[in-house]
Structure 1
């Protein structure tokens, strides 16, 4: 139960291991919609719920999610929830208790504001195993549930996320990019992502160098920065290209068009606990990645070797790193290759098949 890139990668592993899946996903959207479809080994039910719905309306969806789960529970050996949230963790826990099925929680974020603390704790307490994606979250879980804790970081499909010269040419031609250096960002405009920081640094550097900026994403969550307003205020309309969120399989094509990829996350507790999948995708592309040194990113990127780090919020430091990379294409190529090697050798999906298989078998065998 759940959604997002992390769950898709886990689902891919389960499919490769011969498991069949019933996926129930709760997704924020502009309008309410219910979608059902079958894809390979997956039977998928998606609840698309408007972000601006009142909490009481969102709470009612839980009963619908629970109903869908009851219909699919027959023949199920284990229940996996991608969070402890009230919309996924709670229905998963109830199904686990009612039908006596083991529950595995993939603990990927801090407790959200809409989930009461007692529900968050109850989901963790009653799970068989808790997968954590960052060392921060693992330390948090270990304090209460050491025997259940299992560190499984982000892993990705390195065959999907790899540089393609043909895609680079096609996308750059489509976007009207010539010889300019193209800086890329993929993700939401949520305030924790720090997109305004990147915009301000870009605005200064473009006065000196031939640059373009590609923003692949949008203000699709509450608390997003007014990125389009900032672009207008800075008169960057001709230099910044905004494209809406794309299907995941299309993202590598757009990233291939870029020369430098950036993740300017701010320094706060949310990012300290996180392990952003976009950084792994960036590195896997073999393109130089520049990221703020907050949270798990500092354990993944070795500054100057397989990527570059800057202090979160320090625009002068980011500008200095970007200028260095703009002037040195050979350095970009070298560091980009090392980034790709890091993902292939340590974080490609195939390396985590056995670990996840053992975790499932242990949960079902207890």
Structure 2
């Protein structure tokens, strides 16, 4: 099968880490002998190249009518080669040319819906200027109509499956394709020593959060839980690490100082994705805090499956897809509740046998369901439905 993938972000930029899903899809599809090309939108102009063995074609991210026409023309040319056009996310500058190309060349269109972008956008935007209003409208229109227009849809969560059907997609053509972990990168036998030595962690238990630090993450909940934990626990026995970067990093450091725990929390700042497995390997307990809202009910959090594949016990807020993902491989606690989150962490801190049991269950669950091989098997079925029409 020949698959043309279209993605709105820069494959090469650490400033746009939202390309993991499509790159892992492409790598796994290529491993299964499909032909894959990715058309993407770099932050700066560049030439066609090879990315991890996949042919990648840059398009122009400049926002103008003529640029859109040029992108659509190039995608039409590329679409003649393909059996199916795969578009991920809902940025208008990528979706509109992809849809036009698919319809012009009469090729099946597949939509991969992994986040409710409209709700994320409104939760993240700070000032509703004209451009922000127009961007929000574009997300609403695209996510409102694209499930109906596409020949098949893959979704990252059950909540998005329901939304897709409500918005006109045929039930038979909506396929659940959750995030997966790379089982070779994330594995239990990695040594924890390098990272623990770097941060002088020694014999303490390390509780780790990994993820982007922006307004739709819920790290403040973790920080509030840490303050509660340290009221009863020796700081020498427990260490806490927040791995990642983003627009909220400075505010989170300030919030930690306001809580009186600034000296007890390690903020790593940006860590390349290739290095994340080493950091998770250093942890004894991993966490995934969330509130309960429209954004989190639709999420299929990548951090959770990477924790699981690494063989780590997890404390996570019980919202959306999280319960289905963990299923006995972690502790579920009430979302948005720092007291419940602190109790969950303390339960694992005080029970080494439970930590070991959950660690084994986590790796097993990742190996049998939450990995990119399993995800791509479902994606292939969606493509077949699309082509079968």
Q: TM-score range by the shorter chain?
A: 0.7 to 0.9
- Give SS of 1:192's match: coil
Residue 196 (structure 1) shift: 0.7
Residue 198 of structure 1 aligns with which residue?
222
**Worse overlay, 354-363 or 98-107:** 354-363
2:110 aligned to 104, 115, 121, which one?
A: 104
Partners of 2:81 and 2:193 lie apart in 1 by 48
* Equivalences, count: 351
Structure 1 residues not aligned, in runs of 5+: 50-55
Matched, 1:20 2:32: no
The answer to whether the Cα contact below 8 Å between 1:190 and 1:225 also exists between their aligned partners in 2 is no
1:182 aligned to 199, 206, 218, which one?
A: 206
Matched, 1:355 2:378: yes
Matched, 1:277 2:339: no
- Give SS of 1:232's match: helix
Residue 265 of structure 1 aligns with which residue?
290
The answer to whether the Cα contact below 8 Å between 1:78 and 1:103 also exists between their aligned partners in 2 is yes
Residue 83 of structure 2 aligns with which residue?
77
Residue 33 of structure 1 aligns with which residue?
44
Partners of 1:216 and 1:47 lie apart in 2 by 32
Residue 219 of structure 1 aligns with which residue?
246
Residue 43 of structure 1 aligns with which residue?
55
Residue 346 of structure 2 aligns with which residue?
323
Partners of 1:61 and 1:173 lie apart in 2 by 50
Partners of 2:333 and 2:75 lie apart in 1 by 45
Partners of 2:227 and 2:70 lie apart in 1 by 47
Partners of 1:232 and 1:58 lie apart in 2 by 45
- Give SS of 2:188's match: coil
Aligned CA-pair RMSD: 2.7
Residue 252 of structure 1 aligns with which residue?
277
The answer to whether the Cα contact below 8 Å between 1:155 and 1:349 also exists between their aligned partners in 2 is yes
Residue 332 (structure 1) shift: 0.9
The answer to whether the Cα contact below 8 Å between 1:90 and 1:123 also exists between their aligned partners in 2 is no
Partners of 1:295 and 1:60 lie apart in 2 by 41
1:10 aligned to 13, 25, 43, which one?
A: 25
Partners of 1:127 and 1:310 lie apart in 2 by 37
- Give SS of 2:361's match: helix
Partners of 2:221 and 2:148 lie apart in 1 by 39
Q: Deviations over 1:308-361 (max 9, x none)?
A: 011111111111111121122222111111111111122233334443333323
Residue 63 (structure 1) shift: 5.6
The answer to whether the Cα contact below 8 Å between 1:192 and 1:266 also exists between their aligned partners in 2 is no
Residue 90 of structure 1 aligns with which residue?
96
- Give SS of 1:313's match: coil
Residue 59 (structure 1) shift: 8.5
Partners of 2:71 and 2:338 lie apart in 1 by 44
- Give SS of 2:213's match: coil
Residue 202 (structure 1) shift: 1.2
The answer to whether the Cα contact below 8 Å between 2:73 and 2:101 also exists between their aligned partners in 1 is no
Partners of 1:232 and 1:74 lie apart in 2 by 57
- Give SS of 2:239's match: strand
Residue 111 (structure 1) shift: 4.2
Partners of 1:199 and 1:25 lie apart in 2 by 36
TM-score, with length taken from structure 2: 0.81
Change in 2 beyond 3 A, CA 1:228/1:48: farther
Query: Following superposition, which runs of at least 4 residues in structure 1 exceed 6 angstroms of deviation?
Result: 58-61
Residue 13 (structure 1) shift: 1.9
